[in-house]
Structure 1
């Protein structure tokens, strides 16, 4: 069985990446749709931020529990069901007129994401065999690729067919759901073989969970989530309201940020292997506040775009090292660690986004972004609490 795992590792690692892509396509569509919803549905900034909240709140509450459950019982079907629910939630948006109906649909999509990530992160760790860093890096990049494709698909579909065109998101989702369903037996086999190996190692080495170290890691991860969600919500709106660009160009900024994030995720893992986890995270948080302030001082669209590219890279360069470090802290709770580092710490930004949206409504987008710069500085301080091992 172990020989089979080593032989099939690349294929199954990339399969997990593909599932992550299809799940996060749905999540990534939400910020790209906000400018269209603001104009076409007449919602305000707080309501737009509220949709990010809807995409995150249920996911935040459910994911840690699903992670703990997956540590006790193998449930690979959660990945297939999660992908399907997430896609359906976004596809329905174009057929709903009421803001609260849209809110519930986005909430539904968030639930699907919550179902996929804990089991997906746990399974990615298992199929990686001894190559944990490589396997988790491949899985994490899947999320970034999803956030590249999602806005492109959303912008193209809405531009061509209106908001109802979002139904096209179901094409890749249904295809990948079918593939995952066909592989259920193999997922169970991988988990069973890995569990046997883990049990034999525990008899010899007895790995312990480092909860204090994990808790320290979560502090900057929570801050990073708030900053990441903040720029996803406000950068497209900033392009329309402050820089006077079109809705299409503002939505495409989500894709620009996602492309930058993808390369940063790949580079971040390599930098962490060479220089250490903490140094990479210090570098990321040390640049966030200055970059946000610099953006607010620039009126040239080209220069502003360059700053946003660097800003997005700074937000994501510590992403995959944080996931791997979190699983290293909790070797006996991989599902829970994945549910928190891949889910809860990401979703917390959506929970806080309505408050930032309210600041934007009352004091303007510029004020909201200055507040975001202050929050990023708090994250820089929190990064110093992280243990290297």
Structure 2
């Protein structure tokens, strides 16, 4: 009787689709922070591994490439499968896999064992992201933009923790310092077991609701028009453009300020920290603004508002660059969570697939873009490349072609 009562009580709690479940959103956002902080350990360890193991830059690049490809490209696959057969307990299982990977990373004696450990971490992350985004969607109620912002800002904060991880843990402790992040992974597993229980009860309510739908309505939901496909292509293309520009700033702007303004390595990191911090603020603000003014409006203003600042950045002085970078981070990342929600509403019933596509595959292509940008820098120089990539946000003009929020509701 006790178990039956518990299921019924939770069932009633999740039955109201318009209610925003803030407790679930903050927990899944916190777990996103923990997951992405584990991922950020890997690039943070590069200076340590380069010295302790004598790894080449090619080997370090292969480690980064493996992490990005496994964690990003696998996300749409996981999302596609979970759309067909939701597996609530995949969330704690994914973090348990990451725990194995971080343990292996701390103890790895060779390059190939490091690579194997990175595969585990990437796989755990690939399982977590689409399902975590689905939980945020299910807990959103009527405030989907805000919900996705809470979820995504957790991940951005975790990703921005790499400089702190390097300074406070890895520099004094070395490779074995990564062992501390097994505690982070274990903590995430505990929280995600709670989330998985809620997720299970939520599925019960959804299945009951589905029984009341007619077969004709189900058919209409699975029909995807050419206009919908075109809108999805535009969304993915906009994410590619944004990811390439983010990658250019995140990976190469430090070298630019060192070369052009004579900054030290430590001083150059301040620019990136400001950029990432304001990006996290923008990620959080974008969702509520989209709920208020519309998703297409936020996507459009995010990229087009960034465009003049991006064109200005290569020519400003070292002090002005702080402010310009802060505004770029704020504006550019305001559309991060919004594009995810837009894609989810564009093709209803494919929450995991759309989350994996917009966040995973697109950013995987952004990682490939970083390699291409590095080649351009080698061929044409740092200054010329930084000026050229400043035109990428202008591709935001394509957002004018996207269906309006009203048409999206009609879908």
How does the TM-score come out when normalised to structure 1?
A: 0.85
Aligned residue for 1:160, secondary structure, equals: helix
Q: Is the 8 A contact 1:33 1:155 kept in 2?
A: no
Aligned to 1:345: 362
Return 133-142 or 310-319, whichever deviates more: 133-142
Give the alignment's Cα RMSD to 1 decimal: 3.2
Residue 336 (structure 2) pairs with residue 319 (structure 1): yes
**How far does residue 273 in structure 1 lie from its aligned partner after superposition?**
2.7
Alignment partner, residue 6 of structure 2: none
Partner residue, 1:78: 90
Contact 1:68 1:336 in 2 (8 A): yes
1:237 to 1:171, Cα distance in 2 relative to 1, 3 A: farther
Structure 2: gaps of 5 or more residues:
1-9
- Decide whether aligned partners of structure 1 residues 202 and 180 sit closer, same or farther in structure 2, where only a CA change above 3 A counts: farther
Alignment partners' CA distance in 2, 1:163 and 1:249: 25
CA 1:34–1:318 in 2, change beyond 3 Å: closer, same or farther? farther
Indicate how the Cα distance of structure 1 residues 184 and 254 shifts in structure 2: closer, same or farther if over 3 A, else same. Answer: same
> In structure 2, do the counterparts of structure 1 residues 307 and 30 end up closer, same or farther at CA, with 3 Å as the change threshold?
farther
Structure 2: distance between partners of 1:351 and 1:125: 29
Query: Match for 1:380 among 373, 385, 396?
Result: 396
1:146-171 per-residue CA deviation (whole Å, 9 max, x = no partner) reads 22334423332233323443333332
The structure having more radius of gyration, on CA atoms, is 2
Do the aligned partners of 2:20 and 2:143 also contact (CA within 8 Å) in 1?
A: no
Aligned counterparts of 2:249 and 2:233: Cα–Cα separation in 1: 25
1:246 Cα deviation from its structure 2 partner:
4.2
Kept in 2, the 8 Å contact 1:53–1:353? The answer is no
Residue of 172, 179, 183 corresponding to 2:191: 179
Q: Is the 8 A contact 2:48 2:174 kept in 1?
A: no
Map 1:1-389; keep pairs closer than 5 Å.
1-5=10-14, 9-30=21-42, 32=44, 43-44=56-57, 51-86=63-98, 89=101, 102=114, 105-201=117-213, 206=218, 208=221, 209=224, 210-251=228-269, 253-300=271-318, 302-377=319-394, 379-388=395-404, 389=408
Deviations 1:207-257 (A, max 9, x none): 635444323322201221222222221234445555444444444544432
How far 1:185 moved relative to its partner? 3.3
Contact 1:151 1:252 (8 Å CA) reproduced? no
* Runs of at least 5 residues in structure 1 that lack an aligned partner in the other structure: none
Please give the TM-score of this superposition, normalised by the length of structure 2.
0.81
After superposition, the Cα gap between the structure-2 partners of 1:150 and 1:195, relative to the gap in structure 1 and judged at 3 Å, is farther
Once residues 134 and 239 of structure 2 are traced to their aligned partners in structure 1, the CA distance between those partners, rounded to angstroms, is 19
